Structure 1
């Protein structure tokens, strides 16, 4: 274990406060519009440095004043540079996640520098074993690979369902959706599938199968009204087929992972 874990938690907390609570939305807008010329970006970086210095000063009695100053400067300057790079990127989930990972990596580096625990950190990495890698593998498997496999399995029925959904002139039917909107909704459906399978896998690994039933029931309730409105039997069967395929695949991956970990929920 690393020493002084409270300091690491305090540094992360300082980052969250500065990045999400002490940064008005107008600052973000100016950063995205003016990039490195935006004055609020400099103020934002200074706030990060001050809070990081405060965390090191208050939550550690072994760090020298010089190390606190160096750590605060590294946090402030790196945050400024990372945010400038982000301001030129497309503002989406990917850029946000990469941005936050970069900040956390810097914070971890400052923590290891200030407490001089580089060897301990390497020792922790060397303790990563097969069980940890199996869990990571299982989560990766239920994301993109499962999505591709499910799409291929349902492809014989996909064209038939789409062909059956002809435009209707009935006044109660929803308006025709544009191609761009359909693509956006398709991506939203993909994200929903990712979250659904991640939650189910988590419940399987925690041996909480009742929670999976609740998840499926909740999804069915939201789907029921839409399917009833369309009164399309083929669409209903297609949705059910996709749902059960996703559930079965996630169950298979989760149980295989649990069996490899020696935690298969079967009583002898």
Structure 2
């Protein structure tokens, strides 16, 4: 019975007319990044809803979106096309006005793009009348998908905290070896190395490193992990030899191998939960 059940394919609802979705996303990329001069962005951030270029920008989205809808829709419903064009213009204007009041950082950028893409996806589902199919796809999100999401979340901040705690017994020794002033009576200053490093760069590098390694583990591409570690070692070699600090070298190696070991453990646990372990008995 189990064998028979495993051979039965689960019928998933399928979305069609993907050429329209691709076209709308292409329009968004062109209008938002290539047809919007920096001067328009600057005026939007300074004058907000009073910035005239913001209206031009929203209209460009509407015009190009309408062209994509007319050219790529399987069955053209001019009423739906008109409503979609209005939604594109109005939603883009509102989202960009809201963004103009926010700090211009990566968080605001990502939220802004998610909002725009959500509108594009909504228009696609509205024009093609595939709300039920989209809802059906969401209903098939199951344990395997959640396991993968859990693994990626685990290799980010939780892993950073664990690594920091594991290395804390040696952190004091490494910091004690770094001179912070040229004279014992001088006030404490930031070390030269600290002045030459980017804020939170090490943390971000660790995030990217573990995300890449986890991806390679799940794809069973262990040779790529070796290449990643080798590349990191090459870039760190100059700093370590320049400092001539054996404790710092050992500390960096401890951090690197701890990060690698944790990511391997999380990746293999995820693969085991998915039934995709690279080594099978």
Task: In structure 2, list runs of 5 or more residues that go unmatched.
Answer: 1-13, 183-189
Question: What's 1:131 paired with?
Answer: 144
Question: What's 2:258 paired with?
Answer: 245
DSSP 3-state at the match of 2:116: helix
Preserved contact between residue 27 and residue 40 of structure 1 (Cα < 8 Å): yes
> Normalising by structure 1, what TM-score?
0.93
Preserved contact between residue 201 and residue 250 of structure 1 (Cα < 8 Å): yes
Distance, in Å, in 2 between the alignment partners of 1:178 and 1:141 is 30
Question: What's 1:158 paired with?
Answer: 171
Preserved contact between residue 63 and residue 115 of structure 1 (Cα < 8 Å): no
Of the three residues 138, 149, 154, the one matched with 2:162 is 149
DSSP 3-state at the match of 2:201: helix
Residue 24 (structure 1) shift:
1.1
Residue-pair matches, total:
261
Task: In structure 1, list runs of 5 or more residues that go unmatched.
Answer: 170-174
Residue 168 (structure 1) shift:
6.4
Query: Are 2:243 and 1:224 equivalent residues in the alignment?
Result: no
Can you list the C-alpha shifts for 1:156-197, whole angstroms capped at 9, x where unaligned?
11222112111365xxxxx95598x57x72411111111100
Distance, in Å, in 2 between the alignment partners of 1:200 and 1:236 is 22
RMSD: 1.7
Preserved contact between residue 80 and residue 127 of structure 2 (Cα < 8 Å): yes
Distance, in Å, in 1 between the alignment partners of 2:266 and 2:248 is 27
Question: What's 1:91 paired with?
Answer: 104
Of the three residues 41, 47, 53, the one matched with 1:40 is 53
Distance, in Å, in 1 between the alignment partners of 2:165 and 2:198 is 19
Distance, in Å, in 2 between the alignment partners of 1:186 and 1:264 is 38
Of the three residues 17, 32, 38, the one matched with 1:19 is 32
Distance, in Å, in 2 between the alignment partners of 1:254 and 1:104 is 30
DSSP 3-state at the match of 2:279: coil
Q: Who wins on radius of gyration, i.e. which is larger?
A: 2
List 4+ stretches of structure 1 deviating above 3 A. 175-179
Query: Are 2:81 and 1:68 equivalent residues in the alignment?
Result: yes
Question: What's 2:23 paired with?
Answer: 10
> Normalising by structure 2, what TM-score?
0.89
Once the two structures are superposed, the pairs formed by residues 249-260 of structure 1 within 5 Å of their partners are 249-260=262-273
Question: What's 1:113 paired with?
Answer: 126
More helix by share: 1
